[in-house]
Amino acid sequence: MKTFVTKNIDETRDWARDFAKSLRAPVTVALHGDLGVGKSEIARTIIQTLCGTNTVVPSPTFTLVQTYVAGDKRISHFDLYRVADAAELVEIGLDYAIQNDITLIEWPDIATHMLPENTIHINIDEYENGRKIIVR
């Protein structure tokens, strides 16, 4: 387990850029934290680091998943906040993504039974004027 403290959004983005460079498919990253704590911003920064800074990264809150391709890398970004039934997870391709892609999952609790043992869990909490990021 490693803990990082960022003082502002720029430091949080810097951390996410460094973290992104370590990711190799297949890998699953579960992003945990309250509403507004920065899960989407971290996911966006990871995707833009791997796909290019001009990549448009909308939140997948309503589409549930957005997929990106950068060279030989495929990145799947899931937001499971609105998923009420775990059976939907196969329908939206979570099982395929976990086996093949760099998979980023916001609100992963409903998918706990599907997450591989080596899933990287990132807990994000507000901390003083910044964020505390715990990676395990």
pLDDT tens column, 29-55: 999 999 999 999 999 999 999 999 999
| Stretch 11-26: mean pLDDT | 97
**pLDDT above 90 as % of the chain:** 90
The pLDDT, as a whole number, for residue 16 is: 98
The pLDDT, as a whole number, for residue 129 is: 84
Compute and round to an integer the Cα radius of gyration of the chain: 14
| pTM of the predicted protein model | 0.96
72 confidence band (pLDDT: 50, 70, 90): confident
CATH of 2-135, one of 3.30.70.260, 3.90.25.10, 3.40.50.10810, 3.40.50.300: 3.40.50.300
